[in-house]
Amino acid sequence: MKKIAFIFTFAIACFCISHNTNAQVRALPDAVKDAFTQQYPHADSAHYEDRLVFVLVHFYQGDSASTAKYTSKGLWQWTETAMRFSSLPREVQDGFNKSKYLGWQVDHTFLVNMPGNITRYKLQIEKSAIQKRNLFFNTRGRMISDNITMY
């Protein structure tokens, strides 16, 4: 009987935990809302995702889906905007086509804007279900970094 009670209690706890994973732990910092509204006054459908040490804001500007990252104190870290591979600058496409990842499938491409007027291009690529990477290129098509990811 104790074993059944333990299993029942464990199942209820797992159920509660799984349904509360998207619950807000705290109120969204006003500094983040203010910084986002000031930086993107014409953004549509803003959705805030509080990760405690940083906040992601998913939004649309026109037809483009974007995500901006802010610290909990409202300092902007980057914004990435989805784009098609064919819309990448020719230099970035050439940089990827000359890389060791040429045979890999490009799943997603993003324009990444960062403080200091820095522009990067992020390519999420995969060779298999477990071989996935994020590649970052500068505007001249030079690969800046590649990171293993599970996106």
Q: What is the rounded distance in angstroms from the CA atom of residue 133 to the CA atom of residue 107?
A: 10
Alpha helical stretches, state H, 40-99: 90-97
- The model's pTM: 0.80
Residue 40 burial (CB count, 10 A):
18
Q: How far is CA 124 from CA 46, 57, 101, 104, 151, in A?
A: 23, 20, 11, 10, 8
So what's the pLDDT on residue 17? 46
So what's the pLDDT on residue 3? 56
So what's the pLDDT on residue 22? 52
So what's the pLDDT on residue 53? 94
Q: Cα-atom radius of gyration of the chain, to the nearest Å?
A: 20
Q: How far is CA 22 from CA 28, 32, 50, 114, in A?
A: 13, 19, 9, 27
For residue 100, give the nearest of 135, 148, 149, 138 by alpha carbon. 135
Q: What angle do CA 107, 113, 117 make, to 5 degrees?
A: 150
Q: How far is CA 114 from CA 66, 103, 119, in A?
A: 13, 29, 6
10-residue averages of pLDDT along the chain (151 residues): 52 47 74 98 96 96 96 98 98 98 97 98 97 98 94 73
Q: Does domain 84-151 have CATH number 3.40.50.150?
A: no
So what's the pLDDT on residue 151? 73
